[in-house]
Structure 1
Amino acid sequence: MLHKSPAQRVALAVFGLVLAGFFLFPTYWMFTTALKTPAQILSPAYDLIPTTATLKNFVNAITKPDFATFITNSLVVTLGAVACALAAGLLAAVPLARLRFRGRKGFILLVLIAQLAPLEALLIPMYLIMRDADLLNSLWGLLLVYVAFTLPFTVWTLRGFVKGIPIELEEAAMVDGCGRWGVFTRVTLPLLGPGLVATSVFSFITAWNEFLYALVFMREKDKQTLPVWLSSFKTAFGTDWGGVMAASVIYAIPALIFFLLVQRKLVSGSTAGAVKG
């Protein structure tokens, strides 16, 4: 490995800081705008560091009607979709990685195609299916839709993690007397911890940020989710930019907390799953 000179290390550090600042600036601007008054927001002077701060925008966002209902609906459908996708994806990934059966390659190809399909192209077919099944305006219906979106990614990714586990460990456990279920619960499942964390984070973000299907399928206000709630700050009289920014900060907190709780295992899990696919 070539050793970098002090000048090269400094240049790389500066480049890294500039790149990080470039990506962090929108978040910083969102947070500082949420602390400004309407007069400061509409002022032509773009002050990067507000001279005064107010929490009124956050108070208005939290006290907005039905906020508690919206955040509860989002948590229910998101966490439920992640749990169902992990359970079904794990039960599909293990046989796809370990067993040999007729139609296996074709099934894997279908999983890949389903993962690559754009969500917008599936809106009308999904709407017709939900309508015929009488699942419109139902949190269970929206949860099933999110499971359908996140399941292909979960199956494909967990299959790579399962293939990354040496099969000799499972064979040794079977020699010691474990059945297939015992091998799964005592050997495979504990080693899949990083993979489960990695897929759960991506599934959580996908379901948490989804807007289009929640808007179209949930016409009753008490069944809508937080992404739809964010659009309520725009009215016929204009857009409450302070409220939008404060609501966006509040909206990002659950995903940020979830990521911070699992970030260590996420890094190791992502690199482990990339070895074999």
Structure 2
Amino acid sequence: MRRSPLSRALLALLGLAVAAVWAFPVYWMLDSALLPNVVLQSTTPTFLPFGGSLDNFAAVVSDPAFVRALSVSLVVTLTTVGAALVVAFLGALAVSRFRFRGRSAFVLALLLIQMLPAEGLFIAQYKMMSSLGLLNRSLALAVLYTAAVVPFTIWMLRGFVAGVPAELEEAAMVDGLSRTQAFLRITFPLLAPGLVASGVYAFLQAWNEFTVALVVMTDEQSRTLPLWLRGFVQASASRETDWGQVMAASTLVAVPVIVFFLVVQGRMSSGLVGGAVKG
């Protein structure tokens, strides 16, 4: 059914309105991060950052705790993404290419595991990490985050691996390539969008996670960025809250996620669609 110009215009206006509702909090955060606290606490709100500066960002970045938390978050997140992709790819390959008893039940279990509330696992996770001597260690979070994201990433990659015929590798091997060369030159490029989509999911889960880190990382020196941000807000609230610095800190925590998403957005979309269709 072909839409009239009026209906298209109304849909466009509706889309712009929805986009504005979603974008305004982000804009307000950036605007507040550029303004001094005196302006933010005035009775007349300022919607444009006239007279703004980067002083709030400089104050946050100069905090040694921020640099330390940033390094911890980067180590935990990158370790989680790498480990999750390796384990999930091998699991997806086994589920898609091999036939074994209980295969369907295993795939169903991957989805059912996602229904378990994270809070119900806290005590077991804490006791396990404590018995291994891994409390307040980046490795503890990397292990727990990897275990949390692997079921969904296996399920996501399963559909994509199933869409790549094994005959492509066999044909490449007939042409003289080894199995490793056939995988790297033929199969891996076709799976790259699915791997990117799975990597984005693992990245977001590990970077933004708060509750598990709150239980496992009790030492101030081992805080991740979400824990540091909470401590920063609490420290600011103990005196006169400097909302400019709070917003600058929130912006700095969100920037890596936004940049990472923009870089891989195209491949992530094709990976999600491909995995859904070919499963």
Q: Provide the secondary structure at the position in 1 that maps to 2:135.
A: coil
**Structure 2 gaps, min length 5:** none
Deviations 1:48-76 (A, max 9, x none): 22433132211111112322111111000
User: 1:246 is matched with which residue: 241, 248, 255?
Assistant: 248
Q: Provide the secondary structure at the position in 2 that maps to 1:4.
A: coil
Counterpart-to-counterpart distance in 2, 1:66 and 1:142: 19
Q: How does 1:112-191 map to 2 (within 5 A)?
A: 112-173=111-172, 176=175, 181=180, 183-191=182-190
Give 1:176 shift. Answer: 4.8
Q: Which residue of 2 aligns with 1:263?
A: 265
Counterpart-to-counterpart distance in 1, 2:2 and 2:168: 39
**Alignment-mate amino acid for residue 154 of structure 2:** V
Q: Which residue of 2 aligns with 1:73?
A: 72
**Alignment-mate amino acid for residue 132 of structure 1:** S
Counterpart-to-counterpart distance in 2, 1:41 and 1:77: 35
- Number of equivalent positions: 276
Counterpart-to-counterpart distance in 2, 1:250 and 1:116: 32
Q: Does 1:60 align with 2:62?
A: no
Q: Provide the secondary structure at the position in 1 that maps to 2:64.
A: coil
Preserved CA contact (<8 Å) 2:40 2:46:
no
Counterpart-to-counterpart distance in 2, 1:45 and 1:251: 28
Give 1:170 shift. Answer: 4.1
Counterpart-to-counterpart distance in 2, 1:102 and 1:176: 34
Counterpart-to-counterpart distance in 2, 1:223 and 1:168: 49
**Structure 1 gaps, min length 5:** none
Q: Report which stretch shifted further, 209-218 or 180-189.
A: 180-189
Deviations 1:186-222 (A, max 9, x none): 4322210100111111110110001112222112222
Q: Provide the secondary structure at the position in 2 that maps to 1:275.
A: helix
Q: Provide the secondary structure at the position in 2 that maps to 1:117.
A: coil
Counterpart-to-counterpart distance in 2, 1:24 and 1:13: 16
Q: Which residue of 2 aligns with 1:28?
A: 27
Counterpart-to-counterpart distance in 2, 1:95 and 1:174: 20
Counterpart-to-counterpart distance in 2, 1:206 and 1:240: 29
Counterpart-to-counterpart distance in 1, 2:231 and 2:125: 25
**Alignment-mate amino acid for residue 161 of structure 2:** V
Give 1:46 shift. Answer: 2.5
TM-score when scaled to structure 1?
0.92
Q: Does 1:274 align with 2:276?
A: yes
**Alignment-mate amino acid for residue 115 of structure 2:** L
Q: Which residue of 1 aligns with 2:223?
A: 224
Counterpart-to-counterpart distance in 2, 1:45 and 1:119: 43
Q: Which residue of 1 aligns with 2:85?
A: 86
Q: Which residue of 2 aligns with 1:39?
A: 38
Preserved CA contact (<8 Å) 2:157 2:198:
yes
Q: Provide the secondary structure at the position in 2 that maps to 1:274.
A: helix
Counterpart-to-counterpart distance in 2, 1:271 and 1:216: 36
Give 1:169 shift. Answer: 2.8
Q: Report which stretch shifted further, 190-199 or 210-219.
A: 210-219
